[in-house]
């Protein structure tokens, strides 16, 4: 990543009055969170070396008057005008402070239901979502980014078909990601092919809604433009760490945090590529960073300025944090392990298990020092004292991975050559550094003259920039072509497999896109959702290449 890209991210997002550099930001954040000089140095070093970064709101707001440090929130939406419009107000406050909000709209009575106080009829959850969408347009997050929302409807809500089709027209509900919360019962009907089964009879229109109508609606929506996402209610609740506090039916905007009503969560991500040492991961060093990160994120909870008392209360009860990884594909490339092979997955499984187990140990140590989380009694942790009800997640790391100059979250690299604009609007081609170095090495090893080496290197770069892949360049070594696969080269089954590997060792959930080729059929999309459900995922997002209008540019501009 060039310095100019980093500088423009810093200026647009993170620098506060009087600050000029990334060092200034690390200093402000470390001072705000550390309890003593030793911690201050540790936190500063971890961020400054780009080994660990907290989510954007912490970088933006720690040590400032705003003081709101979390990225993820869920809000309760009840079935009355005050309850709906309170949520709207709270959502606006959260967006203003840099957080994203998730809502499950299923409590709202369906369209056509009677409204007693006015003798009228209800307009249903989707009509209210439009109000939330419009409010988001008006409030730019913390003045620095646009608000993100997740809108969820349970598959057992009578307006589910309207919800599934709510984003069929591109541009509708543009500030929302939408997801259908399905349950095992529904998926079992799908799996056994009972498409004609009447799933719900709409209480006010008497329409008989079949399993097939819902399923086909979901699959068709995904095929058209990648929405709705699908969330798996039963799996989320089988893994709910505090079942005594109630079921979980909502996630934050990118899906990585299933949360109870009014909970919030701070995220932080370790850049795995910084822990590659020779041909292995430096596990001891990784473990030290995990321990530091757990303390760091736990301190965020105590220093957080929460937007409303309900959020402070719910967050204080469970003290959930979301520690995860970024730079995972970069680390695999450095180790020479293909993302879509068993060896790559084995490494990821080992690393994530190590991160998760170490995080749990550290939370246990913290519980000894400062006490268990208040809702510990009745939680799944039994006798093992814990400071935090949940510790791990995989965030998208959309901005912080740019800052760290690594691949985002656990996603495969999108393209090894892509166009960027500099500050004066001039475009230039950026190369993935590991790709470029390895390309030069393999072409250099062919025994050609230096001019021809340059020509060949340039030809590969041009080809990648044009087509997005090296797969079809026959003269490149097979091992090179096998290693440098992109998100679009990788088979969707391997995307799902990788998500499943991480999910096994993550308390919360995983933000990931399952990419499918443009030619993917509706049947394949259906297979992918079924595979995700069977693999124990808590949710999934599928994107079929080219199904949205802006994709032609995306291929060239996104990493």
Q: Kindly state whether residue 50 participates in binding ligand UDP, applying the rule CB under 6 A.
A: no
Q: Kindly state whether residue 145 participates in binding ligand UDP, applying the rule CB under 6 A.
A: yes
- Give the binding range for ligand UDP (CB under 6 A) out of 35-43, 300-308, 390-398, 450-458: 390-398
Both structure tokens of 412 = 């495969």
- Residue 59 beta carbon to ligand UDP: minimum distance, rounded to whole angstroms: 8
Cis before 78? omega within 30: no
Q: What are phi and psi of 359, to 5 degrees?
A: -65, -40
| CA atoms 247, 390, 68, 306: torsion sign | positive
Which of residues 34, 148, 290, 347 is near ligand UDP by CB under 6 A? 148
- Residue 86 beta carbon to ligand UDP: minimum distance, rounded to whole angstroms: 20
Which of residues 10, 71, 290, 301 is near ligand UDP by CB under 6 A? 71
x/- track of binding to ligand UDP for residues 90-109 (CB under 6 A): ---------xx---------
Active site residue 256: yes
- Residue 488 beta carbon to ligand UDP: minimum distance, rounded to whole angstroms: 20
Q: Which of 235, 265, 255, 226 is nearest to 538 (CA)?
A: 235
- Residue 81 beta carbon to ligand UDP: minimum distance, rounded to whole angstroms: 26
Question: Among residues 323 and 439, whose Cβ is nearest to ligand UDP?
Answer: 323
Which of residues 32, 46, 55, 347 is near ligand UDP by CB under 6 A? 55
Q: Which of 221, 217, 186, 219 is nearest to 200 (CA)?
A: 186
Contact between 301 and 270 (Cβ < 8 Å): no
- Report the 10 Å Cβ neighbour count for 366: 22
Alpha carbon distances (Å) from 222 to 292, 356, 542: 40, 32, 7
Burial class (CB in 10 A: 0-12, 13-18, 19+), 112: middle
Active site residue 252: yes
Residues 392-411 close enough to bind ligand UDP by CB under 6 A: 395-400
DSSP per-residue string spanning 319-356 = --EEEEEE-HHHHHHHHT--TTSHHHHHHHHHHHHHHH
Question: Among residues 61 and 363, whose Cβ is nearest to ligand UDP?
Answer: 61
- Give the binding range for ligand UDP (CB under 6 A) out of 239-247, 253-261, 342-350, 483-491: 253-261
Instruction: Please tell me which residue in 149, 154, 235, 254 is annotated as part of the active site.
Output: 254
Question: Among residues 145 and 512, whose Cβ is nearest to ligand UDP?
Answer: 145
**Footprint of ligand UDP on this chain (CB under 6 A)?**
55-56, 71-72, 99-100, 141, 145-146, 148, 252-254, 256, 267, 395-400
Query: What residues act catalytically?
Result: 252, 254, 256
């Amino acid at each position: 990543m060039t310095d100019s890209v980093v500088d423009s991210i810093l200026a647009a997002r993170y620098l506060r009055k009087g600050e000029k550099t990334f060092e200034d930001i690390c200093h402000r954040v470390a001072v705000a969170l550390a309890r003593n000089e030793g911690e201050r140095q540790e936190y500063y070093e971890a961020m400054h070396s780009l080994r660990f970064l907290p989510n954007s709101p912490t970088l933006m707001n720690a040590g400032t008057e705003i003081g709101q440090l979390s990225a993820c929130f869920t809000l309760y939406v009840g079935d009355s005008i005050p309850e709906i419009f309170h949520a709207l107000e709270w959502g606006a406050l959260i967006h203003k402070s840099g957080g994203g909000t998730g809502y499950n709209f299923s409590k709202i009575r369906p369209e056509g239901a009677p409204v007693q106080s006015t003798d009228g009829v209800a307009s249903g959850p989707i009509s209210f979502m439009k109000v939330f969408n419009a409010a988001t347009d008006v409030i730019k997050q913390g003045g620095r980014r646009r608000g993100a929302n997740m809108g969820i409807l349970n598959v057992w809500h009578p307006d589910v078909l309207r919800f599934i089709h709510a984003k069929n027209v591109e541009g509708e509900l543009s500030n929302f990601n939408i997801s259908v919360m399905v349950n095992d019962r529904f998926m079992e009907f799908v799996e056994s092919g009972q498409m004609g089964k009447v799933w719900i009879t709409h209480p006010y229109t008497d329409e008989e809604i079949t399993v097939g109508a819902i399923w086909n609606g979901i699959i068709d929506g995904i095929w058209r433009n990648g929405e709705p996402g699908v969330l798996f209610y039963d799996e989320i609740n089988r893994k709910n760490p505090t079942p005594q506090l109630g079921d979980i039916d909502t996630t934050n905007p990118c899906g990585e945090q299933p949360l109870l009503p009014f909970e919030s969560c701070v995220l932080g991500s370790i850049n795995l590529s910084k822990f590659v040492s020779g041909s292995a991961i430096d596990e001891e060093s990784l473990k030290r960073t995990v321990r530091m990160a757990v303390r760091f994120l736990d301190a965020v909870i105590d220093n957080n300025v929460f937007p409303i008392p309900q959020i402070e209360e719910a967050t204080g009860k469970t003290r959930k944090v979301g520690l995860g990884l970024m730079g995972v594909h970069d680390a695999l490339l450095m180790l020479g392990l293909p993302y879509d092979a068993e060896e790559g997955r084995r490494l990821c499984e080992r690393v994530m298990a190590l991160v998760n187990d170490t995080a749990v140990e550290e939370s246990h140590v913290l519980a000894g020092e400062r006490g268990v989380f208040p809702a510990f009694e009745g939680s799944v942790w039994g006798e093992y004292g814990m400071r935090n009800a949940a510790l791990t997640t995989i965030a998208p790391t959309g901005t912080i991975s740019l800052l760290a100059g690594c691949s985002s979250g656990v996603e495969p690299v999108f393209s090894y050559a892509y166009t960027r604009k500099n500050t004066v609007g001039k475009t230039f081609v950026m190369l993935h550094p590991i790709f470029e170095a390895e390309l030069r090495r393999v072409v250099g090893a062919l025994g050609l003259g230096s001019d021809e080496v340059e020509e060949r290197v340039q030809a590969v770069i041009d080809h990648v920039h044009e087509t997005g892949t090296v797969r079809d360049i026959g003269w490149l070594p097979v091992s090179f072509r096998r290693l440098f696969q992109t998100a679009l080269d990788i088979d969707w089954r391997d995307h799902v497999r990788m998500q499943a590997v991480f999910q096994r060792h993550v308390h919360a959930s995983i933000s990931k896109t399952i990419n499918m080729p443009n030619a993917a059929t509706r049947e394949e999309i259906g297979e992918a959702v079924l595979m995700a459900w069977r693999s124990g995922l808590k949710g999934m997002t599928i994107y079929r290449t080219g199904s949205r209008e802006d994709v032609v540019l995306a291929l060239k501009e996104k990493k």
